[in-house]
Chains A and B, each alone.
Chain A
Amino acid sequence: MSRETVLDAIRRGLRRGPLPADQRAMLQSRLDAHPRHLIPARSRLDRPGQVALFLRNLEKEFATFSRVADAAAVPAAIAEYLAQQNLPSDIAIAPHPELQALPWAERPMLRLREGRAKASDAVSVQHAFAAIAETGTLMLPSAPERPTTLNLLPDTAIAVLRASRLVGALEEAWTLLRDELGGMPRNVMLVTGPSRSADIEQTLELGAHGPRRLHVVLIDDTP
């Protein structure tokens, strides 16, 4: 392996040897401190302002949403969305405790299967870890209770998000992730709208390889 060859070539280019210990320590503390850079003013808003910005950005990116007053209303909102869109009521759902706690029994029409997505699944329901108002982005870190395939395989992806998990900028979402997950999950997807491609004549078409539709059910759990 060429590890030393590459490192030596880099040091030759930089006209120095390996960094001395004190400089390495300084670089290490920059890593540990991970200083933030300029964060654009557009997301520095109060909570209702951030919610409004997030929803505006979702729509700009061709996603849709429903707002519900509390978690108990989520199954009804999902059933209504699927009916409106003429979609099947078979759902692949993330085995996340917050989703498991929802009153699904009130909607017997919805047939749930917990687990990862299969190629044949048409609709998925995922748990959103956090969301970013600045760009209308969902943060979906992988975990046993949040399989990655649910974000990718079904034609329609639904994400359940609590408004209290909404932050202004990506940097704040990193802070949540560092504080709560204590280490980088295997996979962290930042999803902004449904899949698309402009490869044919630079003209936008939705639904390339990932979901054609992205629907967010937002639970208004903050004042």
Chain B
Amino acid sequence: MHVATSPEFKQNAKRAIADPQLQKALARSGPSFIARRAAAVAALPEFEALREIGKQIKNHTLAHLDFYLETYAAKVEAAGGHVHWCADAAEARAVVLDICQKAGARTVTKGKSMISEEIAINDHLEKHGIQPVETDLGEYIIQLRHELPSHIIAPAFHLNREEWEEQFRKSHTDLPADRVFHERRDILTEARAKLRERFLAADVGITGANFLIAETGSSVIVTNEGNGDLTQTLPRVHIALASIEKMVPTLDDAAALLRLLARSATGQDMSVYTTFSTGARRPGDLDGPEEYHVVLLDNGRSAMLGTEFQDMLRCIRCAACMNHCPVYGAVGGHAYGWVYPGPMGSVLTPSLIGVEQSGHLPNASTFCGKCESVCPMKIPLPGMMRHWRERAFERHLMPTAQRSNLALWGFVARRPGLYRLATRAAALTLGLMGRKRGRFARLPFAGGWTAGRDLPAPEGDTFFARYARAQRQGTLGKGNQA
């Protein structure tokens, strides 16, 4: 596992703010994500309604996760695939290595997968003489630079063109050292040519999964480059790494979530390649992998069920929360010190590696509420960060919750642009909260951190009640019910 530097968030953040290259990258990239999402959302009047539907679909799935996972696994096996249930990262690493060794693999191509970062599979494979090759352009340069991704959908968010050129000169030593990169396109072309050789030579391809579909036993990847598809199509063996909360019941549920994902992530209506993989090569097929494996990873997720962090399992990894976060925008992703940055990381990291290891992450927030307001799955991120802070406080892991919050407040307030953004969003949130609740139960920056959220009501009863109703009315399969 990657050693987390999250407890040093403050030092990391200071370093980040003093890094001119990083600040240049952040200033360039941040605003474009925000503008693209805003335009895509504005163009779909149903977006708000879809957010609620997305939330319901995931709540329903989580409430019956055991059923859907079992159904899914049976479907995968019926299609000639293999499902490997893994309780933790060590088990997942062992399974992946075993599959690769049985396949006699020397090189393994990889599509972008946050789970692969979470279980640090690359180091493990290398240690055993197998070379993993990242093929997503951003992941590729991160691998060359021996870094962690700084963003969950744009791994090289923190890099400028000069750094790409420098790294390529250093790594691609077979090419003339004095070659000129006239434009970004030349960097891309060089990477494409380099990686083409790798795609064709790989013995195993490892991808992540954005969704798993119980109805069909499919794993779904969503990419723009096509690297994930080459990774899972060309080698003899395909391994999909997926955590248990990627589950959705049906293709139609996935269709609803897909309308939220690309818009929230990159501001596209649909990503270029959305691909559903189901089992191994069929009789008569001219291409596709001969073996298909799914590594189904728990690694701390099941322990979030039934807690105040259950809602976090709705996350579809769109990155909207970090794209809109004033703290992320000021310090970038590496300051968060582990695999998942931004608001979703501040909630997820303590859940996965323990609050002791994640230090001040739950404080890495201005509590402006922007993340929650853009999250397509309506995840109450600020509320959860508060929960973590209370837990850490109870364990005396922090000085006082308030004091570190004020420190961060000071940090934001000294940056006028950030401050304006944060207060505007906070005012908006306050207005909404006040209106909804009639009183300010939770005032950001004002002390009273007493408010706890109620446990999410178990979705099960409501589904069965609704289902029975729908069956009586004969509307099942026609309406909009989750």
Residues of A close to B49: CB separation below 8 A:
38
Asked if B287 and A190 sit within 8 Å, CB to CB, the answer is: no
Q: How many residues of B contact A (CB 8 A)?
A: 115
Which residue of the partner chain B has the closest CB to A173?
B255
* Given A23-B464, A31-B215, A201-B161, A38 contacting B480 (CB threshold 8 A): yes
* Given A5-B87, A184-B218, A135 contacting B269 (CB threshold 8 A): yes
Q: Which residues 15-63 in B have Cβ within 8 Å of A in the complex?
A: 25, 28-29, 32-33, 44-46, 49-50, 53, 57, 63
Is B273 an interface residue when CB atoms closer than 8 A count as contact?
yes
What is the CB-to-nearest-CB distance from B303 to chain A, in angstroms, rounded to a whole number? 7
A46 to B185, CA, bound (A): 41
A203 to B155, CA, bound (A): 14
Residue of A57, A136, A147, A174 touching B286 (CB-CB under 8 A): A147
Q: Which residues 271-329 in B have Cβ within 8 Å of A in the complex?
A: 271-282, 284-288, 296, 298, 302-307, 310
Q: Which residues 127-168 in B have Cβ within 8 Å of A in the complex?
A: 135-138, 141, 154-157, 159-161, 164
0/1 string, B52-82, CB within 8 A of A gives 1: 0100010000011111111101000001000
Is A105 an interface residue when CB atoms closer than 8 A count as contact?
no
A40 to B480, CA, bound (A): 12
Asked if A33 and B477 sit within 8 Å, CB to CB, the answer is: yes
Asked if A10 and B253 sit within 8 Å, CB to CB, the answer is: no
A35 to B340, CA, bound (A): 34
Residue of A26, A152, A169, A209 touching B464 (CB-CB under 8 A): A26
0/1 string, B442-470, CB within 8 A of A gives 1: 00000000000000001010001001100
A135 to B258, CA, bound (A): 11
Q: Which residues 1-51 in A have Cβ within 8 Å of B in the complex?
A: 1-3, 5-7, 9-15, 18-19, 23-24, 26-31, 33-38, 40-42
From B46, B87, B137, B255, name the one whose CB has the most chain A CB atoms within 10 angstroms: B255
A201 to B74, CA, bound (A): 43
A152 to B196, CA, bound (A): 11
Residue of A5, A186, A200 touching B188 (CB-CB under 8 A): A200
Asked if B285 and A197 sit within 8 Å, CB to CB, the answer is: no
- Interface size class, chain A: 35 or more
Stretch at the interface among A73-81, A137-145, A158-166: A137-145
Residues of B close to A208: CB separation below 8 A:
137, 188, 192, 224-227
From A7, A41, A200, A209, name the one whose CB has the most chain B CB atoms within 10 angstroms: A209
Asked if A174 and B251 sit within 8 Å, CB to CB, the answer is: yes
Residue of A13, A18, A207 touching B305 (CB-CB under 8 A): A13
Asked if B255 and A170 sit within 8 Å, CB to CB, the answer is: yes
Asked if A200 and B164 sit within 8 Å, CB to CB, the answer is: yes
Asked if A30 and B249 sit within 8 Å, CB to CB, the answer is: yes
Is A101 an interface residue when CB atoms closer than 8 A count as contact?
no
* Given A137-B270, A186-B280, A195 contacting B224 (CB threshold 8 A): yes
Asked if A184 and B66 sit within 8 Å, CB to CB, the answer is: no
From A119, A144, A148, name the one whose CB has the most chain B CB atoms within 10 angstroms: A148
Asked if B250 and A10 sit within 8 Å, CB to CB, the answer is: no
Asked if A199 and B138 sit within 8 Å, CB to CB, the answer is: yes
Is A196 an interface residue when CB atoms closer than 8 A count as contact?
yes
Residue of A186, A191, A202 touching B282 (CB-CB under 8 A): A186
Asked if A209 and B227 sit within 8 Å, CB to CB, the answer is: yes
Residues of A close to B268: CB separation below 8 A:
192
* Given A40-B259, A187-B275, A199-B136, A2 contacting B85 (CB threshold 8 A): yes
0/1 string, A74-96, CB within 8 A of B gives 1: 00000000000000000000000
Residues of A close to B1: CB separation below 8 A:
none
A136 to B255, CA, bound (A): 15
Residues of B close to A151: CB separation below 8 A:
229
Is A205 an interface residue when CB atoms closer than 8 A count as contact?
yes
Residues of A close to B192: CB separation below 8 A:
207-209
Asked if B229 and A34 sit within 8 Å, CB to CB, the answer is: no
Asked if B302 and A190 sit within 8 Å, CB to CB, the answer is: no
* Given A170-B258, A209-B192, A209-B230, A13 contacting B217 (CB threshold 8 A): no
Asked if A143 and B285 sit within 8 Å, CB to CB, the answer is: yes
Q: Which residues 89-123 in B have Cβ within 8 Å of A in the complex?
A: 91
Residue of A34, A117, A191 touching B477 (CB-CB under 8 A): A34
Residue of B188, B282, B477 touching A35 (CB-CB under 8 A): B477
A104 to B200, CA, bound (A): 31
* Given A147-B287, A187-B278, A197 contacting B233 (CB threshold 8 A): no
Residues of B close to A29: CB separation below 8 A:
476
Residue of B234, B244, B286, B476 touching A10 (CB-CB under 8 A): B244
Asked if B29 and A201 sit within 8 Å, CB to CB, the answer is: yes
Which residue of the partner chain B has the closest CB to A118?
B200
What is the CB-to-nearest-CB distance from A4 to chain B, in angstroms, rounded to a whole number? 8
Residues of A close to B269: CB separation below 8 A:
57, 134-136, 192
Asked if A198 and B266 sit within 8 Å, CB to CB, the answer is: yes
Residue of A3, A10, A19, A35 touching B479 (CB-CB under 8 A): A35
Is B216 an interface residue when CB atoms closer than 8 A count as contact?
yes
A205 to B138, CA, bound (A): 13
Is B84 an interface residue when CB atoms closer than 8 A count as contact?
yes
Residues of A participating in the B interface, judged by any CB pair closer than 8 Å: 1-3, 5-7, 9-15, 18-19, 23-24, 26-31, 33-38, 40-42, 57, 61, 115-117, 119, 134-137, 142-144, 147-149, 151-153, 169-171, 174, 184-203, 205, 207-211
A27-B64, A38-B49, A202-B28 known, 11 other contacts, Cβ within 8 Å? A14-B306, A31-B250, A33-B476, A35-B479, A35-B481, A137-B274, A148-B233, A184-B276, A190-B275, A195-B272, A200-B187
Q: List 7 A–B pairs whose Cβ atoms lie within 8 Å, in order of A's numbering.
A: A1-B85, A14-B66, A14-B458, A36-B478, A61-B272, A198-B154, A201-B25
Nearest first, the 10 A-B pairs at minimum CB distance are A210-B226, A13-B305, A208-B225, A144-B284, A9-B302, A199-B138, A33-B477, A34-B250, A184-B216, A199-B137
